[in-house]
A and B are shown apart, each in its own frame.
Chain A
Amino acid sequence: MNLRKYLKVYKKFLHTSLASELEYKTNILVDLITAILSLVGSIFLLSIFFQNNGYIGGWKFEQALIIQAIYTILNGITNTWFNPNLTEIVKHIREGTLDFVLLKPIDSQFFISLKKINPSGFLEIMLGFLLLFFCIRINQINLNLSFLTLSFITIGCSICILYSLWFFISTTTVWFVKTWNAIEVLRSFLYIGRFPLNSFSFSLRIFFSVFIPIAFITTIPSEVFLGLSVFWKILLEVIVATVFLITSRKFWLFALKFYSSASS
């Protein structure tokens, strides 16, 4: 692996895709308003849940806001990198242009996962961080080194899990050709990441931590922020993230064996 080469290539990717996206400037503005409204909407929904109850699943309103903040950051990352790139896989396979990707002297997963970037997602990430800082203030969280490292580790793992989930679904295109709808299913499942895991019934909790580990994605980092997290949970998240990353890689290489190019 030649790290410097990959960094250089990635710089080029950034440059070209930013240049093409900035052509649609009003689009970025509309996307920013969408991100703001969507955050306002989910806080509104949360406030409906809390209007007559002090606690939901053991979480106070101020604490549940942290989950919203982390969800917004992760959603911004999804919109910046995962969504524009991984939906492209579907197109590559349908139109047979995956051949060109495979021929390039560069790792195909790297190329496919990072080729494009959608700058309007940055605004959503910033919005999420703003809310997060606000939450840190209202919850009176002390910032110290161990807390910061733990939160970085858990959020990093969440990003890895999220990426692997998206990549898994997109890879199945090799067999099913059209996976737009599978992506929609994933999106609607991810939606529950906006709420504390404990607010769901036991069976759903099991489902969302064993089969689709959405529970890990937002709840564990938020628990770290509140100082509620237990060591084994963080360890478990790290393990889950590694397993997901490795299997998604293996799955991609496996799927490529089944890929028959456009004319064969």
Chain B
Amino acid sequence: MLEYRVEIALWAISGIIPFFMLNIWTNNNLNESINISDVMLSRYFLCAFFVRQFSVVWVVFSFEEDSLMGKVSPYLIQPLNPFFRYFAQHLAEQITRFPFALIIAFFFFIFNPESIWIPNLGILLLSIVSTFLSFLIQFLIQSIVACLCFWTEKASSIERLLFIPTLFLSGLLAPVVSFPAYVKSWIYLTPFPYLIDFPANLLSGNETNISGGLSMQILWILLLFPLFKKIWFEGTKKYTAMGS
């Protein structure tokens, strides 16, 4: 992974959309209407950036390429689910990404010195846990989509479709608190606000329901995991290797 330092640095930069959004929010004083101060909002978006950096998943693209190239066949013979391989790759890249994310945060604090804060240890640990849970949810969803490769060749277009609600409803572009009431009434039942909004609120010290959020995250994982196992089982039965 360290061989691709430039790439990972660029990846980190490509995640800076939350900062552009923050700029729109504060520059137009939009935050006054939702009762969040400038400082809290900038902390929120910084945390959203961090959570996004450590919960990005691209397993569907790797798996699609491997399955089109026929690389999945040797993986299937191995006594280990190939998704563990992708899982390990994701974790390794997240660790390499950490210093770059810190550098971006450093620059952020130079421009916004008033938003520096130190979360207490308990909150920090909890938010790391919830970021990891958010990563797990996204990893499971994408793995399920990736398994669709067994039926259709291009599963990545389904992933692009699912990415749209993730982008707009997860809180990456606007905190869920600011959403209109007709959306807020159902959004907490979907997995989206637990992907970015909940961990980011937790870490930045904004108001949030800690136990409720964590339990919803775990609930979604418990729902998605059997589904993944089922679709993986069906898919591998359907799978025909090259030349067979």
Which residues of A come within 8 Å of B, CB atoms? 24, 26-27, 30-31, 33-34, 37-38, 41-42, 44-45, 47-49, 51-53, 56-57, 176, 178, 180-182, 184-185, 187-188, 191-192, 195, 199-201, 204
Contact = CB atoms under 8 A, between A and B. Distances in A.
B23 A200 contact: yes
Interface of B: 4, 6-8, 10-11, 13-17, 20, 23-24, 26-30, 32-33, 152-154, 157-158, 160-161, 164-165, 167-168, 173-174, 178-180, 183
A180 B160 CA distance: 16
The 6 closest A-B pairs by CB, nearest first: A52-B33, A181-B10, A41-B168, A184-B14, A37-B164, A34-B161
B24 A56 contact: yes
Dominant secondary structure of chain A at its interface with chain B: helix
A256 B165 CA distance: 41
Given A37-B161, A200-B24, A48 B16 contact: no
B180 A24 contact: no
Given A34-B157, A49-B30, A191 B17 contact: yes
A199 B24 contact: yes
Contact of A200 (B6, B15, B27, B179): B27
B10 A48 contact: no
A185 B14 contact: yes
Contact of B14 (A38, A47, A187, A192): A187
A49 B179 contact: no
Given A47-B180, A185-B13, A24 B30 contact: no
A47 B168 CA distance: 12
Dominant secondary structure of chain B at its interface with chain A: helix
Contacts of A192: 20
Contacts of B183: 44
B54 to A, nearest CB: 17
A25 to B, nearest CB: 11
Nearest to A33: B161
A41 B14 contact: no
B164 A34 contact: yes
Contacts of A26: 152
Contacts of B28: 49, 53, 56-57, 199
Given A38-B164, A188-B14, A201-B23, A52 B30 contact: yes
Contacts of B23: 200-201, 204
Contacts of B11: 181, 184
16 contacts: A24-B154, A30-B157, A37-B164, A41-B168, A47-B180, A48-B179, A48-B180, A49-B24, A52-B33, A53-B33, A57-B27, A178-B4, A184-B10, A199-B27, A200-B20, A200-B27
